[in-house]
């Protein structure tokens, strides 16, 4: 059983704050690391698929880094906005692309 | 942008009844998946499907579960005799091909409530 963990479980920030959260995953048999953004009553939406150690990806105010040797990825949000409020999931695929999910970080941004 | 669609959005069923959850994956996608999330728990993998057969399944996916792609567009999950513990949100996902570095595209989910 693969262990994919996310911290913190939930986070409350003020609009304009920058924030970050962590996903840890097994450092062996690494294929990729996925990040998804999941708003209530909607489908999880892919943010990033990271494949190389040292990868850094960016989409607007959201960016992610990857360390495959130590088994962690950080997701950063710069200048949080209320519309960033969502659950952020990381997922670790096996060779067959079966995803093992972390528990998610629930972000709430107060105006 | 093309999307994965799931029906119904909410299904309420008596324990012991059969239920079929339906999904229409993105049309040029070749790999299909079902996941579920029991309230308060992590999203869990159930099964993956490629080339008209199951490619991988989890321990959860026992003989009560089956999947089918009956007509080249729909992808269904059947639970033969539902139990209370089958109550969960069920997500369908699809992926374009076997190349690395691709995300899965998820539907909005079906909330299954077993009474």
Per-residue pLDDT band at A103 (split at 50, 70, 90): very high
d(CA B30, CA B28): 7
Per-residue pLDDT band at A81 (split at 50, 70, 90): very high
**Secondary structure (3-state) at B47:** strand
Q: Which residues pair with A91 in a beta bridge?
A: A34, A101
Residues of A in contact with B56 (CB under 8 A): 96, 98
d(CA A23, CA B71): 39
Over 90: is that where the pLDDT of A28 sits?
Answer: no
Work out whether strand A5-7 and strand A19-24 pair parallel, antiparallel, or are unpaired: antiparallel
Pairwise CB contact (< 8 Å): B104 & A34: yes
Q: Please, what is the Cα angle at A81 between A76 and A84, to 5 degrees?
A: 65
Q: What is the mean pLDDT of chain B?
A: 94
Neighbours of B56 (CB within 10 A): 17
pLDDT at residue A8 in the model: 97
Handedness of CA B92, B35, B29, A74 (dihedral sign): positive
Pairwise CB contact (< 8 Å): B101 & A46: no
Per-residue pLDDT band at A2 (split at 50, 70, 90): confident
């Amino acid at each position: 059983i693969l262990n994919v963990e996310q911290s913190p479980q939930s986070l409350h920030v003020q609009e304009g704050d920058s924030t970050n959260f962590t996903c840890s995953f097994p450092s062996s048999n690494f294929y990729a690391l996925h990040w998804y953004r999941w708003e209530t009553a909607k489908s999880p939406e892919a943010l990033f698929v990271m494949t190389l150690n040292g990868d850094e990806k960016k989409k607007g105010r959201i960016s992610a880094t990857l360390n495959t040797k130590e088994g962690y990825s950080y997701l950063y949000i710069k200048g949080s906005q209320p519309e960033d409020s969502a659950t952020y999931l990381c997922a670790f695929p096996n060779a067959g692309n079966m995803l093992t999910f972390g528990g998610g970080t629930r972000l709430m941004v107060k105006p | 942008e093309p999307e994965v669609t799931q029906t119904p959005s909410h299904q309420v069923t008596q324990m012991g009844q059969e239920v079929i959850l339906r999904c229409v994956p993105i049309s040029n996608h070749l790999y299909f998946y079902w996941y579920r999330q029991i309230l308060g728990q992590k999203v869990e993998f159930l099964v993956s499907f490629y080339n008209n057969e199951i490619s991988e399944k989890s321990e959860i996916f026992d003989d009560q579960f089956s999947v089918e792609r009956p007509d080249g567009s729909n992808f269904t999950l059947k639970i033969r005799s539902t139990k209370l513990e089958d109550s969960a949100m069920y997500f369908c996902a699809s992926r374009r091909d076997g190349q690395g570095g691709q995300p899965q595209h998820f539907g909005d989910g079906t909330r299954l409530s077993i009474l």
